[in-house]
Amino acid sequence: MSRESQTALPGTPDRPELPGTLPDHLRAELIAFRRDLHMHPELGHQEFRTTAAIKARLEKAGLRPRVLSTGTGLICDVGTWDGVQPVLALRADIDALPIPDTKTHVPYRSSFPDRAHACGHDVHTVTVLGAGLVLAELDRQGLLPQPVRLLFQPAEEVLPGGASDAIEDGVLDGVGKIIAVHCDPRVDAGKIGLRPGAITSACDRLEVALAGPGGHTARPHLTTDLVTAAARVAVDVPAVLARRMDARSGMSVTWGRIEAGHACNVIPMHAELSGTVRCLDLNAWHEAPDQIHAAIDEVAALHGAKSEITYVRGVPPVVNDPMVTELLREAMAARRGPGAIEDTEQSLGGEDFSWYLEHVPGAMARLGVHKPGDPAKRDLHRGDFDVDESAITVGVEFFTAAALLDGRRARPSR
């Protein structure tokens, strides 16, 4: 029997019978949809073509999507919300990265020299789209126990992330839980990685400008030696913070740029450093700006330098709710058995899914996209990033299982 004609997976004690598998024809369509997105990547707040394509496909299925007020991104409810029963939201991010696509062996390589879906957002998009289409069919059959909201969010890669704008636009109205997946090239396709608690890090941007009277390198005692001051800020500030912040917070200050001077025999009057602040603990994230300001000012003052600090809030850590994480574990076990679940490690990467979790409980899973047996390791945010497209089926059926299991709990049979 083809998967298209199936209405449910066979039930076992570990894998309850669930409808919502992906039909063969829809699987092929989603792969083609993903490849089209991959060929036409759009940066944050510029995802007009992507938004239009998603909207058209949902409308073709008889659904009524709403484009967000920012002009890109959209939400769409599957099933009828009664205004009382909480909605489960499935979130996808739809933007690409400003880096070149270096793949040469695939026909769906990016059509633009400076843009690429090198983080898997095209896969995130089609897994939520596919789940929505499958759930819509179940709703027509009277098999959807609760409404589900599809959320296609723009500008995840743009600090502080498009999630904040989406929340202001009311995307969480009526939402009781929110779930998402993120591609993980370290995990084989067919599996997911789960972790309760912090799974990704907070990520903020830090810029420091130092100033003082410069002069000749023959007379450094008559100057503020800003090269030395910048070097000490770069080295000593992380060391100071390591003793002032709880070591369990995972606080990390890492510099990506340091600039000072233009001539070998001139002590400059200005120096600059910039980097990122990352931590895994929410309370530490709230404390970080004050602690970092104090540490930089103290180290700079020791060398007679004046400091001007620009601290740009990015995103808090993604802290998975334990109960929602357990729902995802049960959903994956129901679809593919407990052997398809891995305990995943924490990452110091940032993800603006965290903003939703400031308002409602939720969890993010890592969707395996590595082709089993392939020796190549393609990391995220690299031009050669690609996925095993069988992961699309896994993601769709994972989402539909979570929606059905959550709905059954919310509305138990009498």
221-248 tens-digit pLDDT: 999 999 999 999 999 999 999 999 999 9
pLDDT in tens, 50-81: 999 999 999 999 999 999 999 999 999 999 88
Give the pLDDT band of residue 5 (cuts 50, 70, 90).
Answer: very low
Higher-scoring residue by pLDDT: 377, 113: 113
What pLDDT sits at residue 17? 75
Using pLDDT thresholds of 50, 70 and 90, give the confidence band for residue 312: very high
Give the per-residue pLDDT at 84. Answer: 81
For 133-162, the pLDDT digits (tens) are 999 999 999 999 999 999 999 999 998 889
- The residue-averaged pLDDT of 88-108 equals 97
Say yes or no to pLDDT of 2 above 50.
Answer: no
Give the type of residue at 93.
D
* Calpha distance 218→75 (Å, rounded): 65
Give which of 365, 389, 340, 364 is closest to 15, Cα–Cα. 340
Is 80 exceeded by the pLDDT of residue 188? yes
pLDDT of 8 over the 50 cut: no
Distance (Å, rounded) from C-alpha 118 to C-alpha 122? 9
Neighbours of 91 (CB within 10 A): 25
Question: For the whole model, what pTM was predicted?
Answer: 0.91
**pLDDT > 50? residue 414:** no
Contacts of 111 (CB under 8 A, 6+ apart): 39, 40
pLDDT at 359 over 50: yes
